[in-house]
């Protein structure tokens, strides 16, 4: 399946670099929030939330490092996947003619999602520490809703753009 796809090296654009920087800053923010907040956290912090954004599960304060850890893994995996676009799954057949555009779009959507997800993790980590310290009662659903809308919007943009580029 992948053997017939063209392997081409696409130069990084300014947009690619900007998304990489945004993702790296989001990851750094997540790690810093968890690390700086950890000493002041109580023994139990919220680890799960209901649909209203209220905590309904609690765990040891060390779980504050779960989202930064997942962010690092996600960052590495999506960075690697973006470097091998000929190995990705596509909605339409890849040809010599459409490969450059399809690969560019695939790389762009992976980089956008990477940045959005690590920033979502940063916000969740920040809110979990605030709730754990008693400074907030819930996640703040507008944060979650906005980020989920961005992710859905990114996926819809990708589908529309990839469809036009086929």
Q: Establish if 3 belongs to a structural domain.
A: no
Q: Which domain holds residue 152?
A: 14-164
Q: Establish if 123 belongs to a structural domain.
A: yes
Q: Establish if 5 belongs to a structural domain.
A: no
Q: Can you tell me the distance from the alpha carbon of 75 to that of 80, in angstroms, rounded to the nearest whole number?
A: 9
Q: Establish if 134 belongs to a structural domain.
A: yes
Q: Establish if 153 belongs to a structural domain.
A: yes
The answer to whether residue 158 scores a pLDDT higher than 80 is yes
Q: Establish if 152 belongs to a structural domain.
A: yes
The answer to whether residue 53 scores a pLDDT higher than 90 is no
The pTM assigned to this predicted structure is 0.88
pLDDT at 111: 95
The answer to whether residue 19 scores a pLDDT higher than 70 is yes
User: Which tens digit of pLDDT belongs to each residue from 91-140?
Assistant: 999 999 999 999 999 999 999 999 999 999 999 999 999 999 999 988 87
> What is the share, in percent, of the chain residues with pLDDT greater than 70?
98
Structural domain count, the chain: 1
The answer to whether residue 3 scores a pLDDT higher than 70 is no
Q: Establish if 2 belongs to a structural domain.
A: no
Overall size of the chain counted in residues: 166
Bridge partners for 44 per DSSP = 60
The answer to whether residue 163 scores a pLDDT higher than 90 is yes
Q: Establish if 114 belongs to a structural domain.
A: yes
């Amino acid at each position: 399946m992948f053997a017939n796809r063209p392997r081409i090296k696409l130069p990084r654009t300014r947009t690619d670099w900007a998304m990489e920087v945004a993702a790296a800053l989001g990851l750094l923010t997540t790690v810093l929030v968890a690390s700086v907040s950890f000493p002041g956290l109580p023994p139990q912090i919220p680890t799960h939330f209901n649909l209203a954004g209220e905590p309904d599960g609690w765990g040891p304060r060390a779980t504050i490092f779960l989202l930064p850890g997942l962010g690092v893994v996600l960052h590495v995996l999506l960075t690697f996947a973006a470097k091998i676009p000929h190995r990705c799954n596509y909605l339409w057949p890849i040809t010599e003619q459409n490969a450059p555009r399809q690969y560019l779009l695939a790389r762009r959507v992976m980089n956008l999602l990477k940045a959005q997800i690590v920033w979502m993790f940063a916000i969740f980590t920040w809110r979990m520490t605030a709730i754990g310290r008693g400074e907030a009662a819930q996640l703040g659903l507008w944060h979650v809703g906005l980020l989920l809308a961005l992710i859905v919007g990114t996926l819809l943009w990708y589908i529309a753009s990839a469809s036009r580029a086929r």
